[in-house]
Amino acid sequence: MLYRNIGKPIFFKMDPERAHHLVIGGLATAAKLPGMQSMLKGMYGVSADPALTMDLFGLTFNSPIGLAAGLDKNAEAVPGFSSIGFGFMEVGTVTPKGQPGNEKPRMFRLPPDEALINRMGFNNEGADTMLTRLSALTKRPIPIFVNIGKNKATPNEQAHEDYLSCIRSLYDVADLFVVNISSPNTPDLRSLQHGDDLRALLTAVVAEMKHRNEASGKQKAVLVKIAPDVTDEELAHMTATIMASGVSGIIATNTTLSRMGTDHPNRLENGGLSGKPLTERSTEVVRQVYRQTGGRIPIIGSGGVFTPEEAYAKIRAGASLVEIYTGLIYRGPGINRELAAGLKRLLARDGYKHISEAIGADHR
């Protein structure tokens, strides 16, 4: 209630990107103050519950709800986000070299639609800066996924070199990598999702991860994040290529170029849309990927999760974990407790003792 009655009205009067930086900076600063992480956990933390705890990718998730990439692009506020109830978080998208991203303004709210549009363009401080920040963490209470991309100036035929560079730089500090080939805000990036481009990129990435894992004696996973704006046929080919590559999992989905279900004037802005209008499409992509793979590869559902029912729908469609971003902006940090409590209620309603029993339930 504190966020919705006080924080949100203040932030929503600001430019969206300025508010974004204030939140990140505030969380980063707060986590450094004595006792503040404990206070955040007391206010917003989610206690581990056996019914919601998941073991996946060689990692333990005390909650199936994670923070999607794009909010903490430079890993500035990991301790803060770790204290407000997330079971895991993505940092990034990070590129080998820092880059400013697209011209401002580049982030827009659509309040009646509970949506955001962004055309940030992989603005970030680069892999070396992220390495420094993640190396400085004294403890890691939740798994940290590092979302990696290519620099804007790198041509697609050399894109694999950027992804491999990020893996080499950040292998020791990442719990898991996410290959981002689905942002609509880097020119031609989405073409890497298809055909020979996708096959070649994933072959290179999987080979590098295998080499790093063998050298370290670890088994770190790599996932691929896909777009919602594909035909059923394109999705089937994409999924088959991903399965054949040996990649560990799929995140479905990134933001959308569609404006269906929106009325606010900002719908005319270019960029990727997230939030409520993406809810049904992202869940449908999860459902199709689960069906196409026979549930043999884990899926993380992302897109338009605001309520326990929406998170649960993605799980029943085939998601093992769920991510939020826009829901956090509109509902505030209390959303994690609401989602956890609601998921437990929905599991009990359907007679499930553990969340794993609900994964893909709609297909049975």
What pLDDT score does 5 carry? 86
72-112 pLDDT, tens per residue? 999 999 999 999 999 999 999 999 999 999 999 999 999 99
> Using an 8 Å Cβ cutoff, are 211 and 178 in contact?
no
pLDDT over 80 (residue 1): no
What is the helix (H) or strand (E) element at residue 107, kind and residue range? strand 107-110
Q: How open is the CA angle 304-311-264, to the nearest 5 degrees? A: 20
What pLDDT score does 185 carry? 79
3-state secondary structure of 176: strand
* Residue 294: Cβ-neighbour burial (10 angstroms; 0-12, 13-18, 19+): exposed
What pLDDT score does 196 carry? 85
- Please state the rounded mean pLDDT for residues 15-43: 93
Terminus-to-terminus CA distance in the chain, angstroms? 39
pLDDT over 80 (residue 16): yes
pLDDT over 80 (residue 293): yes
324-357 pLDDT, tens per residue? 999 999 999 999 999 999 999 999 999 999 999 9
- Please state the rounded mean pLDDT for residues 234-258: 95
Q: Going from the N-terminus, what domains does the chain have, and what CATH number goes with each? A: 2-363 (3.20.20.70)
pLDDT over 80 (residue 37): yes
Q: Give the chain's mean pLDDT.
A: 95
Tokens of residue 242, six digits? 């991903």
Tokens of residue 106, six digits? 């580049």
132-189 pLDDT, tens per residue? 999 999 888 999 999 999 999 999 899 999 999 999 999 999 999 999 998 887 878 7
63, 169, 183, 282: which is the annotated catalytic residue?
Answer: 183
Region of 95 (left: φ > 0; alpha: ψ -120 to 50; beta: rest) is beta
Do strands 144-148 and 124-126 pair parallel, antiparallel, or not at all (unpaired)?
A: unpaired
Tokens of residue 207, six digits? 């080979």
Cβ neighbors of 108 (< 8 A, separation 6 or more) are 16, 116, 117, 118, 266, 269, 271
123-136 pLDDT, tens per residue? 999 999 999 999 99
> Using an 8 Å Cβ cutoff, are 323 and 301 in contact?
yes
Contacts from 155-159 at CB under 8 Å and sequence distance 24+? 156/188, 156/189, 156/191, 156/192, 156/197, 159/192, 159/201
Band (195; pLDDT cuts 50, 70, 90):
confident
Q: How open is the CA angle 116-120-121, to the nearest 5 degrees? A: 135
Q: 216 an active-site residue?
A: no
Report H helices in 144-231: 159-170, 195-216
Residue-by-residue DSSP string for 262-295: --SGGGGS-SEEEEGGGHHHHHHHHHHHHHHHTT
55-72 pLDDT, tens per residue? 999 999 999 999 999 999
3-state secondary structure of 103: coil
- Please state the rounded mean pLDDT for residues 12-20: 96
Distance CA 277, CA 358 (A): 24
